[in-house]
Amino acid sequence: KNQVEQSPQSLIILEGKNCTLQCNYTVSPFSNLRWYKQDTGRGPVSLTIMTFSENTKSNGRYTATLDADTKQSSLHITASQLSDSASYICVVSGGSQGNLIFGKGTKLSVKP
C-alpha cells in the first residue's frame, strides 16, 4: 500500500536551534517528493520539489534530502525563527495511478 509516514508528529524547539523532520514512504513507482509549510488555517506553501535523481535541495534555511534507495527524506531547518512555527507536510507522487500521497505532517513550534 502506498503510504507516507512523517516523524515526529510534533516538535518544540528554541529559537535559533536547528531541527530535522523525517519522511518515509512506500510509494512505488516514485515520481517526486515535495515538502510544504502550512501555517494554521492557511494554504500550504511549497518549500522544495525533488525527483529521483536529486539528493539535496535547498530553499533558504530549509534543506531537503532524498534517499531513493531507502525511501527516506528529511527536511532540515537551520537557525529556526518564530515564523517557522507551522506544520510541515511531505507529499510523494507516484504509484500505479500517478497520485499524490500526503503525510499527516509534523507540527513544529519554535519558542523564544
Interacting residues toward another protein by CB under 8 A: 31-32, 41-46, 49, 51, 89, 91, 93-94, 98-100, 102-105
Contact yes or no for 90/4 (Cβ under 8 A):
yes
Query: How many Cβ atoms are within 10 Å of 87's Cβ, its own excluded?
Result: 17
Measured from the CB atom, the residue of 18 and 58 that comes closer to another protein is 58
**Residues whose CB falls within 8 Å of the CB of residue 43, separated by 6 or more in sequence, listed in order:** none
CB of residue 70 vs another protein: minimum separation in angstroms?
A: 21
CB of residue 27 vs another protein: minimum separation in angstroms?
A: 11
Cα four-point dihedral sign 14, 81, 78, 53: positive
Measured from the CB atom, the residue of 9 and 70 that comes closer to another protein is 9
Helix (H, G, I), strand (E, B) or coil at 44: coil
CB of residue 45 vs another protein: minimum separation in angstroms?
A: 7
Distance CA 77, CA 16 (A): 10
Measured from the CB atom, the residue of 53 and 70 that comes closer to another protein is 53
Contact yes or no for 76/84 (Cβ under 8 A):
no
Measured from the CB atom, the residue of 19 and 94 that comes closer to another protein is 94
CB of residue 58 vs another protein: minimum separation in angstroms?
A: 15
